[in-house]
A and B are shown apart, each in its own frame.
Chain A
């Protein structure tokens, strides 16, 4: 099960070199995203898309909120 991270934990993980992934559609990513986040929309998240990520580093995913 993925670990839930709050805002403080996200900042700590980023300092450790974690990768940040915005899973919202491209349009919403273009409008606003967290600094350094890459966009891997959920609807396009297949193995090929995931290959953009480094498997040896932590990954943080987020969308807009709990919805």
Chain B
């Protein structure tokens, strides 16, 4: 649709016409602002805790655990140097053998949601899978943050 619109505008004499080929689905999936009726829907990006601790796969669990605890958390996201998510360390995994690496004990390929996913979908997922939190990433796999059920909590958020 947009290639035809762009061509049409050029045909009308507009000299500088660009086509954002990836479109609004790309924009919203990266958590960028939205206008319109849909903007009133609470979405994952609004609740994602950006301060969730991260570590690299080769780090020793003991050191990671100390850092995570000092920050007041009980979970840590395992990422590469570009913050692409590799895995997740929840409390039970964090409290394992301190000499093992994060990579050895992490949950591999945890499920993730995009920032524009309605928060209701995440809550439903967390209920069904008995999880206290779920990761939010951009479409290229980079960490946005962690949505914790306790941070969403109130049914007011869902208008209930």
B-binding residues in A (CB < 8 A): 1-7, 9-10, 13, 18, 21-24, 29-37, 40, 42, 45, 47, 50, 53, 55, 57-67
Interface size class of B (residues with CB under 8 A): 35 or more
A31 adjacent to B38 (CB under 8 Å): yes
Chain A facing B: main interface SS: loop
Nearest Cβ on chain A to B128's Cβ, whole angstroms: 27
- Tell me the smallest distance from the CB of A5 to a CB of chain B, in Å: 4
Considering the chains assembled together, what is the distance between the CA atoms of A50 and B13 in angstroms?
10
Contact B12 A24 (CB under 8 A): no
- A57–B14 CA distance with the chains assembled, in angstroms: 9
Q: Can you list 18 A-B contacts with CB-CB less than 8 angstroms, sorted by A residue number? A: A4-B21, A5-B18, A5-B21, A31-B36, A34-B35, A42-B4, A47-B12, A55-B14, A55-B15, A59-B9, A60-B18, A60-B20, A62-B19, A62-B21, A62-B24, A63-B5, A64-B23, A66-B23
